[in-house]
Structure 1
Amino acid sequence: MELYLVIPILTVFLSTNAQLEHNDFSVSGCSETEKESLYGSDGEEAWHADFNQKTGVVTLPDFADPMSFDGFYEASVGQLEVCRQNLAVLIKAYKSPSEEMEPPETSIYPRNAVQPTVENTLICHVTGFFPPPVNVSWAKNNVIVTEGVSLSQYRPKSDGTFHVFSSLKITPEDGDVYSCTVNHRALQGQPQTKIWSVPEAAVVLPSVGLAVLCGVWLTLGLLGVATGLFFLIKAFATDRPDVAKNIKHLMQWTQSKTVPPGF
Structure 2
Amino acid sequence: IKMKLLLYLFYDGEFVSVEHEAFLYAACSDVEEEFYIGYDEEEYGHVDFKQKRAVETLPDFVGQKNITFPRFYEIGSDAIVGCKRDLPIFIEIFKSLPLEIDLDAPQTSIYPKDDVELGVQNTLICHATGFYPPSVNISWTKNNVIVTEGISLSQYRPRTDDTFNIFSTLKFTPAEGDIYSCTVNHKALQGQPQTKIWGEHIGLVLQTGLRLIAIGASGLVLGIIITATGLIYFKKKSIGMWR
Q: What amino acid is aligned across from residue 44 of structure 2 in structure 1?
A: A
Counterpart Cα distance in 1 of 2:60 and 2:23: 21
Question: Taking structure 1 as reference, are residues 61 and 40 closer, same or farther at Cα in structure 2, changes over 3 Å only?
Answer: same
- The answer to whether residue 224 in structure 2 is matched with residue 220 in structure 1 is yes
* SS at 2:24 equivalent: strand
Question: Do the aligned partners of 1:8 and 1:28 also contact (CA within 8 Å) in 2?
Answer: no
Match of 1:170 among 155, 169, 172: 172
* SS at 1:201 equivalent: helix
* SS at 2:192 equivalent: coil
Match of 1:186 among 188, 199, 202: 188
**Which moved further from structure 2: 149-158 or 138-147?**
138-147
Question: Do the aligned partners of 1:27 and 1:37 also contact (CA within 8 Å) in 2?
Answer: yes
Which residue of the partner structure matches residue 243 of structure 1?
Answer: none
User: Please, what TM-score do these two structures have when normalized by structure 1?
Assistant: 0.69
Question: Do the aligned partners of 1:12 and 1:24 also contact (CA within 8 Å) in 2?
Answer: no
Match of 1:26 among 24, 31, 51: 24
Which residue of the partner structure matches residue 251 of structure 1?
Answer: none
Offset of 1:150 from its aligned partner? 0.9
Could you list the runs of 5+ residues in structure 1 that have no partner in the other structure? Answer: 1-6, 240-263
Counterpart Cα distance in 2 of 1:143 and 1:115: 23
Counterpart Cα distance in 1 of 2:55 and 2:88: 28
Larger Rg: 1
Question: Do the aligned partners of 1:14 and 1:22 also contact (CA within 8 Å) in 2?
Answer: no
* SS at 2:233 equivalent: helix
Which residue of the partner structure matches residue 119 of structure 2?
Answer: 117
Which residue of the partner structure matches residue 201 of structure 1?
Answer: 205
Offset of 1:136 from its aligned partner? 0.6
Counterpart Cα distance in 1 of 2:148 and 2:207: 26
User: Please, what TM-score do these two structures have when normalized by structure 2?
Assistant: 0.74
Counterpart Cα distance in 2 of 1:133 and 1:206: 42
Q: What amino acid is aligned across from residue 169 of structure 2 in structure 1?
A: S
Count of residues paired in the alignment? 229
Could you list the runs of 5+ residues in structure 2 that have no partner in the other structure? Answer: 10-17
Counterpart Cα distance in 1 of 2:171 and 2:94: 45
Query: Identity percentage over the alignment?
Result: 44
- The answer to whether residue 97 in structure 2 is matched with residue 98 in structure 1 is yes
